[in-house]
């Protein structure tokens, strides 16, 4: 149990850092990083429910994330910057996600896993193209900028002192930005907690049985297709909600932030790096990759500058090539550490 | 009712679907000349996609390996061919059809050779270690796709690349009022040639017999005394080479290519393979032609729906036949 | 003389252990019958011999040569043929193509082909038909023919009578008797009547272990042993 304990401790530590992030790192960029980590933990956890716990490979997770983000964005833009509009938009995203998830699930979860992967990939691409083309609704390539509920405005003062100035706590202004961050933090933590509960519930046990031996689970009497479709729906709804939350944080939604295939690759990388089949791995994977995204590029830039005199190397080390290195790391991970960071630690620690 | 369905199945069954599509489109479009132009465009697009998809389908049928990195070969084929064409610019512009043709052949051969070599490397290094493990297979080939795309970006840069066409394929042929692009005719002819070649290989040779049998039941072929692994690497290499050839043809068709070309086409290739059914060349051709036609017809009738139309086509066919129109017998 | 010798063979399928300890000597010539309840490990034994599953630990020796863990194709080249339970027919290929595939170099030995036609006249009639459209009995004939188109020393046959009509079962028994004059057959069978009519030596597998070895005549004579080793269902089937 030592390994499991290590992983859980590490994950909880990350959550603790996220909880106090505004106070620990008092700059705008760090807060961006923290919020992105929180949202992606929820997103990756919901994806892990599919790939790790059920053995379903879907490439449509960003599509659901996008439904939620665009739902919130369109509603906030056209109805107004209120909680009602936000709720309505998020709900619309959830409904669309559910309908599409049920459709895809019924259509293709019956057949081979590979069919499912291909169909979800095709569906996600079509949605991406549609979002780019239906510019009247989605803003096309440019995306949509909008206002969020007033409490999240940076200018909003949550608490004021006698002079009417915003109060600072440990040097941090208690303003709308802080409120927005904690909105993201709390909703992401809630979603993560839900995922944890699901995997610990009887449903989680059934899913594992299906993953281990489908024919056997079917033989015992579980309706495998129904369970798979249900899980696919749960994951889709969670991704959609995460999308709405992220849309609130960014105050902007466009193909690059909500639908692009790059996000799908990010999610895949996070799941694999963290460890498939362990919810706690999602926390580690999401944190590691988001940190890498923000800071590895800086590092590569420095490295490229340092080797500027050498041929070829600078070309390979430019920050634009960082996906190349991530891809190679990804392949090596899948070969040598298919259970990811969390899985490897758990296996090693528990074996002792 | 049974009489009708029997008549249909005797006349070709599902293989009549493209004909039916063409007929419906003829009525909807109204103008015969536009219809002809679109049909030729659809058929040639279908043939190019067939080139890209056939290898994927066979590789899957034979070894249950789905290579998500397949589209890398499409991109590489396009860029390699474009570079060769650019290098041989003098021949391309020359007045002699022979020189034109020679330049084109060099470009296509370079793409093919690259596909063969790349396919060999890919199968040995990327795919072989994860045979029979679908989850890791999907992940690893996806990872390889990311790396391959980055290599293309690093080698050719991110900005769109111009692809020169050989002079003798420029311009178009006038049939009545309809103008038919020469390049498209060429693409169609080449695709048809490859199909016939593959068909003969699969149905008239012992290797083809082994491949067809292996697609159905690999274990039994092995129990009869043959090593399917060796067969498989051959099929993988040829499949990758055909994808590269398809990419090369596509480059000339688009005349302006970007590194994301492979990823964009991959979706179409997947849809084709799903529609046609995995593991059979006939099914892949059928799917490719249907998607090519649908894309062009819908692109003319309702431009914004072109990609969605192929998706809808796929969904309808899956509802009707969950394993595609003409999959290999398993 | 011993043709095939299995020593302490254990086979795992995924994490489940199916064969615990199979030790068996199959003598050359005639039909050797392997009996046992459903799920006892008979099919796994055949597949482990053929190399389709790897026994570990344990060994498979064929004419004294260790063939454990070889690739199935190499085991086939030693002169072992396999007729699986599902017959392993290539349904999309014609009967002729199925047969050609089983030849070493794509050419038929005419005398062997004539012999097969004599054994199964129906095969000639369906020669150019797609194998997938054949009936169960015809498929089984094709599967057996495929196994003997090249000279073989041992044929592993898994439940050939499953789901076949009685008339075809009789024809099959006749064919097996004929084949076993030249080639040793290791037969897995649930149909006791059929097995009894063919087998000279026999063994019973239960729960992944060989629990009985002997001659068919002795086994048939000992009702108590039959009751103990084989489930009653087998005899119920016989009664039908």
In a structure prediction context, what are the per-residue pLDDT tens digits for chain A, which is 352 residues long?
A: 677 888 888 888 888 888 888 788 878 788 889 999 999 999 999 999 988 888 888 999 999 999 999 999 998 888 887 888 888 999 999 999 999 999 888 776 666 667 788 888 888 888 888 888 888 888 888 888 888 887 787 777 777 777 777 777 776 777 778 888 999 999 999 999 999 999 888 888 888 888 777 777 777 777 788 888 889 999 999 999 999 999 999 989 988 888 888 888 889 888 988 888 888 888 999 998 888 888 877 777 777 777 777 766 776 777 777 778 888 888 888 888 888 888 888 877 766 5
DSSP string, B259-305: TTHHHHHHHHHHHHHHHH-TT-HHHHHHHHHHHHHHHHHHHHHSGGG
User: Does residue C236 carry a pLDDT above 60?
Assistant: no
Q: What CATH number does residue C165 fall under? A: 3.40.50.300
pLDDT of B73: 94
Range of A268's domain?
A: 2-351
pLDDT of C239: 41
Chain pair B-C, CB pairs under 8 angstroms: 58
Instruction: Tell the residue number behind the tokens 């995306």, with chain if given.
Output: A143
Q: Give the pLDDT mean for C28-37.
A: 89
Cβ contacts (< 8 Å) between B223 and chain C: which residues? 50, 52, 72-73, 76, 81-82, 84, 88
Q: Report residue A81: phi and psi, to 5°.
A: -85, 55
CB contact under 8 A, B267 and A125: yes
Name the residue facing B209 among C88, C97, C104 (closest C-beta).
C97
Give CA–CA dist B26/C27, Å, rounded: 73
Strand partners of residue C204: C35, C212
CB contact under 8 A, C77 and B210: no
Q: Any idea where the domains of chain B sit in the sequence?
A: 38-320
Cβ contacts (< 8 Å) between B212 and chain C: which residues? 90, 92-93
Question: Which of A 333-352 lie inside 8 A of B, CB atoms?
Answer: 334-335, 338
Count: domains in chain A: 1
* ipTM here: 0.89
Question: Does C202 fall in a domain?
Answer: yes
Range of C168's domain?
A: 2-87+154-239
Count: domains in chain C: 1
> Is the bond into C57 cis (omega within 30 degrees of 0)?
yes
State the nearest Cα–Cα gap between C132 and chain B, in angstroms: 9
CB contact under 8 A, B311 and A122: yes
Cβ contacts (< 8 Å) between A331 and chain B: which residues? 126, 140, 143-144, 147
Q: What CATH number does residue A193 fall under? A: 1.10.3470
Q: pTM of the entire structure? A: 0.84
Q: Which residue of B has its CA nearest to A135?
A: B304
Say if residues B23 and B168 touch (Cβ distance below 8 Å): no
Q: Which residue of B has its CA nearest to A114?
A: B66
Model pLDDT for residues C120-158, shown as the tens digit of each residue: 988 889 999 999 999 888 999 999 999 999 889 999 999
Strands C59-62 and A168-169: unpaired
Question: Does C107 fall in a domain?
Answer: no
pLDDT of A326: 81
Chain pair A-B, CB pairs under 8 angstroms: 104
User: Does residue C240 carry a pLDDT above 60?
Assistant: no
Name the residue facing B143 among A123, A130, A331 (closest C-beta).
A331
Model pLDDT for residues C14-29, shown as the tens digit of each residue: 667 788 888 999 999 8
**Closest listed residue to residue B307, CA positions, set A130, A267, A53:** A130
Q: Which residue of B has its CA nearest to A110?
A: B322
Q: For B192-195, which contacts have Cβ atoms below 8 Å and span 24 or more sequence positions?
A: B192/B47, B194/B50, B194/B51, B194/B54, B194/B242, B194/B245, B195/B47, B195/B50, B195/B54, B195/B281, B195/B285
Question: Does C136 fall in a domain?
Answer: no
Model pLDDT for residues A158-177, shown as the tens digit of each residue: 777 777 777 777 767 777 78
Question: Does C168 fall in a domain?
Answer: yes
As a whole-number percent, the residues of chain B with pLDDT over 70 amount to: 97
CB contact under 8 A, A110 and B314: no
Please give the distance of CA C213 from its chain centroid, rounded to a whole number: 18
CB contact under 8 A, B223 and C82: yes
Cβ contacts (< 8 Å) between A289 and chain B: which residues? none
State the nearest Cα–Cα gap between A333 and chain B, in angstroms: 9
Cβ contacts (< 8 Å) between A316 and chain B: which residues? 154
Name the residue facing A126 among B60, B135, B311 (closest C-beta).
B311
Q: Give the pLDDT mean for B289-312.
A: 86
pLDDT of B297: 93
**Is B273 an interface residue toward A (CB < 8 Å)?**
yes
| CA pseudo-torsion sign A137, A142, A146, A152 | positive
CB contact under 8 A, C76 and B329: no
Question: Which of A 298-327 lie inside 8 A of B, CB atoms?
Answer: 315-316, 320-321, 323-324, 326-327
Could you give the 3-state DSSP secondary structure of residue C150?
A: coil
Q: Which residue of B has its CA nearest to C46?
A: B223
Burial (CB count <10 Å: 0-12, 13-18, 19+), residue C158: buried
**Is C151 an interface residue toward B (CB < 8 Å)?**
no
DSSP string, C45-83: HHHHHHTSS--SS-EEEETTEE-TT--HHHHHHTTEEEE
Interface test with C, best of B205, B225, B277, B278 (most C CBs within 10 A): B225
**Is C85 an interface residue toward B (CB < 8 Å)?**
no
> Any residues with CB less than 8 A from the CB of B124 and at least 6 apart, and which?
B233
Question: Does C130 fall in a domain?
Answer: no
Residues of chain B in Cβ contact (below 8 Å) with chain C: 206, 209-210, 212-213, 216-217, 219-227, 328-329
CB contact under 8 A, A334 and B153: no
Say if residues B324 and B277 touch (Cβ distance below 8 Å): yes
**Is B10 an interface residue toward A (CB < 8 Å)?**
no
**Closest listed residue to residue A283, CA positions, set A1, A34, A31:** A34
Cβ contacts (< 8 Å) between C100 and chain B: which residues? 206, 209
Model confidence at C237, pLDDT cuts 50, 70, 90, reads: very low
How far is CA B278 from each of CA B159, B275, C42, rounded to the nearest angstrom? 35, 9, 33
User: Does residue C232 carry a pLDDT above 60?
Assistant: no
Question: Does C81 fall in a domain?
Answer: yes
pLDDT of A41: 94
What is the architecture of the domain spanning B38-320? Orthogonal Bundle (1.10)
């Amino acid at each position: 149990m030592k390994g499991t304990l290590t992983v859980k401790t590490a994950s909880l530590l990350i959550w603790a850092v996220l909880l106090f992030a505004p106070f620990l790192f008092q700059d705008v960029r760090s807060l961006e990083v923290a919020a992105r980590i929180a949202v992606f933990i929820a997103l990756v956890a919901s994806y892990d429910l599919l790939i790790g716990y059920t053995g379903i490979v879907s490439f449509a997770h960003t599509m659901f994330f996008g439904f939620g983000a665009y739902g919130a964005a369109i509603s906030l833009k056209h109805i107004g910057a209120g909680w009602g509009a936000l709720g309505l938009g998020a709900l619309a995203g959830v409904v669309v996600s559910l309908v599409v998830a049920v459709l895809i699930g019924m259509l293709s979860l019956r057949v081979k896993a590979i069919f499912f992967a291909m169909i979800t990939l095709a569906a996600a691409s079509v949605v991406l193209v549609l979002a780019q083309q239906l510019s009247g609704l989605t803003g096309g390539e440019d995306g949509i900028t909008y206002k969020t509920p007033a409490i999240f405005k940076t200018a909003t003062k949550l608490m004021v002192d006698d002079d009417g100035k915003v109060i600072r706590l440990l040097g941090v202004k208690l303003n709308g930005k802080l409120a927005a961050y904690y909105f993201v933090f709390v909703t992401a933590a809630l979603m993560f907690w839900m995922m944890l509960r699901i995997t610990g519930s009887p449903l989680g046990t059934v899913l594992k049985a299906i993953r281990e031996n489908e024919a056997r689970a079917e033989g015992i009497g579980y309706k495998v297709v129904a369970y798979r479709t249900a899980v696919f729906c749960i994951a889709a709804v969670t991704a959609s909600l995460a999308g709405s939350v992220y849309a609130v944080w960014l105050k902007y939604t466009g193909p690059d932030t909500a639908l692009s295939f790059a996000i799908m690759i990010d999610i895949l990388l996070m799941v694999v790096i963290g460890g498939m089949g362990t919810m706690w791995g999602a926390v580690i994977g999401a944190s590691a990759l988001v940190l890498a995204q923000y800071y590895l590029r800086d590092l590569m830039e420095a490295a490229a500058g340092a080797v500027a005199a050498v041929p070829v190397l600078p070309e390979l080390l430019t920050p634009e090539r960082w996906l190349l290195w991530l891809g190679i790391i990804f392949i090596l991970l899948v070969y040598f550490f298919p259970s990811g960071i969390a899985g490897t630690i758990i296996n090693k620690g528990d074996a002792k | 009712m049974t009489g009708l369905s029997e008549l249909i199945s005797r006349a070709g069954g599902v293989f009549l679907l493209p004909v039916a599509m063409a007929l419906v489109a003829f009525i909807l479009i109204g103008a015969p000349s536009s219809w002809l132009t679109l049909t030729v465009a659809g058929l040639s697009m279908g043939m190019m996609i067939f080139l890209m998809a056939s290898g994927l389908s066979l590789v899957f049928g034979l070894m249950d390996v789905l290579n998500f990195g397949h589209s890398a070969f499409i991109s590489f084929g396009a860029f390699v061919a474009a570079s060769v064409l650019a290098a041989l610019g003098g021949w391309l512009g020359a007045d002699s059809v022979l020189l034109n043709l020679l330049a084109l052949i060099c470009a296509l051969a370079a793409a093919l050779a690259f596909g063969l070599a790349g396919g060999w490397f890919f199968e040995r290094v990327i795919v072989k270690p994860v045979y029979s493990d679908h989850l890791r297979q999907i992940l690893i080939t996806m990872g390889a796709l990311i790396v391959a795309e980055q290599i293309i970006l690093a080698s050719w840069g991110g900005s769109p690349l111009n692809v020169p066409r050989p002079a003798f394929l420029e311009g178009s042929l006038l049939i009545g009022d309809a103008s038919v692009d020469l390049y498209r005719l060429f693409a169609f002819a080449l695709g048809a040639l490859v199909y016939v070649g593959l068909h003969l290989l699969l149905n008239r040779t012992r290797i083809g017999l082994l491949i067809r049998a292996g697609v159905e039941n690999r274990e039994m072929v092995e129990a009869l005394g043959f090593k399917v692994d060796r067969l498989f690497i051959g099929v993988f290499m040829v499949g990758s080479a055909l994808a590269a050839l398809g990419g090369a043809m596509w480059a000339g068709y688009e005349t302006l290519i970007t590194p994301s070309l492979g990823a964009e086409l991959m979706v179409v290739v997947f849809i084709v393979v799903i529609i046609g059914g995995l593991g059979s060349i006939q099914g892949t051709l059928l799917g490719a032609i249907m998607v090519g036609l649908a894309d062009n017809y819908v692109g003319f009738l309702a431009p914004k729906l072109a990609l969605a139309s192929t998706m809808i086509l796929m969904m309808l066919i899956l509802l009707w036949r969950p394993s595609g129109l003409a999959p290999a017998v398993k | 003389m011993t043709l095939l010798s299995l020593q302490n063979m254990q086979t795992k399928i995924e994490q489940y252990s199916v064969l615990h300890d199979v030790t068996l000597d199959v003598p050359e010539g005639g039909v050797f019958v392997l009996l046992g309840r459903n799920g006892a490990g008979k099919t796994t034994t055949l597949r482990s011999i053929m190399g389709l599953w790897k026994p570990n630990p344990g060994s498979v020796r064929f004419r004294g040569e260790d063939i454990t863990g070889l690739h199935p194709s190499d085991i086939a080249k030693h002169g072992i043929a396999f007729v699986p339970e599902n017959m392993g027919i290539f349904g999309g290929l014609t009967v002729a193509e199925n047969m050609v595939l089983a030849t070493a170099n794509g050419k038929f030995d005419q005398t062997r082909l004539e012999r097969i036609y004599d054994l199964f006249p129906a095969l000639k009639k369906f020669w150019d038909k797609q194998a997938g459209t054949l009936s169960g009995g015809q498929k089984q004939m094709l599967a057996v023919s495929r196994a003997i188109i090249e000279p073989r020393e041992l044929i592993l046959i898994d439940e050939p009578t499953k789901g076949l009509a009685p008339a075809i079962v009789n024809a099959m028994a006749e064919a097996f008797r004929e084949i076993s004059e030249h080639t040793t057959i290791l037969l897995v069978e649930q149909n006791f009547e059929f097995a009894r009519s063919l087998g000279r030596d026999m063994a019973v597998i239960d729960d992944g272990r060989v629990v009985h070895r002997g001659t068919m005549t002795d086994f048939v004579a000992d009702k108590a042993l039959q009751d103990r080793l084989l489930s009653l269902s087998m005899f119920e089937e016989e009664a039908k």
